[in-house]
Amino acid sequence: MDFRELLDRHLRSRPDDYLTPFRDLIAVEGHYHWGAVLGDFADDFYQIACPHCAVEVTIAIGSYGRYSAIRDWSLGDVDRCDLSPASPSELSGSGRWMHETAVRDGEPVLADGIAHLFGQAECPRCASVFNIADEYASSHRPLM
């Protein structure tokens, strides 16, 4: 049995610390950036530069909501726009695999967060719509 199979078997047992081996399995699958940054979606924030106007957009996925916003140090998250989650049938690649694994293992909060992370956001400044995961991954992957 290889390490990937061992991690997958451990996840199927629904451990209390599910997120840690889930992130490890993501890294074993070769998605190191997601293995390093994926949270439990209780209160996660991702910073992305809008691909159209370059303003820094805060993506919030958690108990405070699921939205894109401009972060103001004095006012908090302003100009919020609701995120559009990807439907499970729209997911592909690593997003599909992560979502299916979370659903399989009875992790609905994680599955919902992944659907939002791989969904669409609107830039509060210029109103362009972009794929959150694509923009985050392209701006946070290490250069080779």
**Is 70 exceeded by the pLDDT of residue 24?**
yes
pLDDT 10s digits, 33-86? 898 889 999 999 999 999 999 999 999 999 989 999 998 888 888 899 999 999
pLDDT of residue 143: 58
Total domains, the chain: 1
Question: Rounded CA gap, 5 and 7, in Å?
Answer: 5
Q: Which domain holds residue 14?
A: 3-140
Residues in the chain, total: 144
End-to-end CA distance of the chain: 31
Lowest mean pLDDT among 20-29, 88-97, 102-111, 132-141: 132-141
Lowest mean pLDDT among 26-30, 57-61, 83-87, 130-134: 26-30
Question: Rounded CA gap, 121 and 59, in Å?
Answer: 8
The pTM (predicted TM-score) of the whole model is 0.92
Cβ burial, residue 93 (10 Å; 0-12/13-18/19+): exposed
Q: What is the 3-state secondary structure (H, E, C) of 30-95?
A: CCHHHHHHCCCCCEEEEEEECCCCCCEEEEEEECCEEEEEEEECCCEEEEEEECECCCHHHCCHHH
Mean pLDDT over residues 104-114, rounded? 96
Mean pLDDT over residues 4-18, rounded? 91
pLDDT of residue 134: 94
